[in-house]
Amino acid sequence: MSLISSFPIMSSSCNPAQNTIDWTALRSDFPLLSQQAHNKQLAYLDNAATTQKPNAVIEAIAHYYRVDNANVHRGVYELSERATQSYEATRNKVQNFLNAWSREEIIFVRGATEAINLVAQSYARPALKPGDEILISAMEHHSNIVPWQMVCKKTGAQLAIIPINDSAEIMLERYQQLLNEKTRLVAVTHVSNALGSINPVQQMITMAHEKEIPVLLDGAQAAAHLSVDVQALDCDFYTFSSHKAYGPTGVGVLYGKKRHLDAMEPYQGGGDMISSVRFEHTEYNSLPYKFEAGTPNIAGVVGFGAALDYLSAVGFDNIVQREQQLLDYATLKLQAISGLHIIGRAKNKASIISFVLDCAHSHDISTILDHQGVAIRAGHHCAMPVMERFNVPATARASMAFYNNEADIDQLVRGLAQVFKLFS
């Protein structure tokens, strides 16, 4: 239980329920954040790309390798049992985290990308016929576009695109029209990585289900920033990545309703996913192992478990409140700058701000900010259709996590002043 005792927010004098979290103390749980960049205090504002890891996660991974390392689901010796227990314990944590009905509905994969590809290949591909449609939105990350294009190419099915308005919101009346008898699946992002929009997924799922169309939600940008209840949402699939939720890279989750997963063929073949193999015939293992061929990222999954513990100790009520505070503060500061335009003005927004400057390209902005110790993302954010929709070649994007603070945003604003000085 060393993990729990080294769990700073548990030991600090905070009471999550009453939002008396000491955010400054909590920031010090993330060792990377205390470093300098170009002789300035680092202001890490690229959390939509990946989040930093708390000590609890780093220690859980180190502890696993120091003490518990063995292969899972195989050895009958104590060490292997312990490794298996730690690995499987994370599955229960994910089940709780998403409020899934059963732990069998939680499949460990490499990340959101692999989860979507799994659904595309094992669920969609065998079912699709020429003329069928998969409905995605105009604000998808490439990883929720390309896997569908690949199955469309193989099956003769087509992609249909739900348009978004100038505020970067899904156009629900158009969505309603696009849901038709040819639609086989709706695949939309819960939160847009390039625009910050939180989509009305509950409503969208209800609308799709009225026509018996299943829905996949890409939760890569949502899972660490708002609380997700897959049973309340009633989504058919939900995907996200550990590394965007304070856990290690190389681990992700596919949640799928049991009846879908049961009916699906395995994605990959190998060890662990079988119950018996003969040259004539192989019996597949039961859920969730049917989809977890080969030795998994055990240490990663264990570290991910620690991240989920951390998140639930901070509590989503607190996280949402703090991140909205930061979003409001940053929006206020940035929109006061003349010559700066925020791209993505959805009413319901996560703590992501994309912007462009009249005087400088996002690439130049990011280089200059980097020298002020500010890490933001510049480019198309793996969402080139979004850039096209808003008629910009690229944007600069600041994305905040609960460990950021007003000082980080002030540093960003000061950095932008340097950009203006140089370019106008």
Ligand X SMILES: Cc1ncc(COP(=O)(O)O)c(C=O)c1O
Give the footprint of other proteins on this chain (CB under 8 A). Answer: 38, 360-364, 367-368, 371, 378-380, 384, 387, 393-394, 418, 421-423
Q: Residue 8 CB, nearest distance to ligand X (Å)?
A: 26
Q: How far is the CB of 371 from other proteins (least distance, A)?
A: 5
Asked whether 53 and 307 are in contact (CB, 8 A), the reply is yes
Query: Distance (Å, rounded) from C-alpha 374 to C-alpha 412?
Result: 6
Burial category of 397 from C-beta neighbours within 10 Å (exposed 0-12, middle 13-18, buried 19 and up): buried
> For 253-383, where are the alpha helices, taking DSSP H only?
258-263, 298-314, 316-335, 362-370
Query: Can you tell me the distance from the alpha carbon of 195 to that of 355, in angstroms, rounded to the nearest whole number?
Result: 9
Q: Does 117 bind ligand X (CB under 6 A)?
A: no
Distance in angstroms between the alpha carbons of the first and the last residue of the chain: 57
Q: How far is the CB of 111 from ligand X (least distance, A)?
A: 3
Residue 112 near ligand X by CB under 6 A: yes
- Distance separating alpha carbons of residues 77 and 75, to the nearest angstrom: 5
Q: Per-residue contact track with ligand X, 217 to 236, x per CB under 6 A? A: -x-xx---------------
Is 14 in the active site?
A: no
378-407: which residues touch ligand X (CB under 6 A)?
Answer: 382
CB of 276 to ligand X, least distance (A): 33
Query: Beta-carbon neighbour count of residue 67 at 10 Å?
Result: 12
Separation between Cα atoms, residue 371 and residue 59, nearest integer Å: 31
Q: How far apart are CA 159 and CA 187, in angstroms?
A: 10
By CB under 6 A, what part of segment 311-370 binds ligand X? none
Q: Least distance from C-beta 116 to ligand X, angstroms? A: 7
Q: Does the footprint of ligand X cover residue 137 (CB under 6 A)?
A: no
With CB under 6 A as the contact rule, the residue among 54, 111, 288, 415 that binds ligand X is 111
* C-beta atoms surrounding 110 within 10 Å: 18
x/- string (CB under 6 A) for ligand X, residues 163-192? --------------------------x---
38 contact choice in ligand X, other proteins, none (CB below 5 to 8 Å, kind-dependent): other proteins
Q: For ligand X, which is the closer residue by CB, 296 or 415?
A: 296
Sketch the per residue contact string, 139 through 158, with ligand X: x for CB under 6 A, - otherwise.
--x-xx--------------
Question: Is-contact 59 6, C-beta < 8 A?
Answer: yes
Sequence-distant (≥ 6) Cβ neighbours of residue 237 within 8 angstroms: 115, 119, 123, 214, 215, 216, 217, 254, 255, 256, 257, 260
Task: Write out the catalytic residue numbers.
Answer: 382
- In the complex, the residues that contact ligand X under the rule CB under 6 A are 111-113, 141, 143-144, 189, 193, 218, 220-221, 241, 243, 382
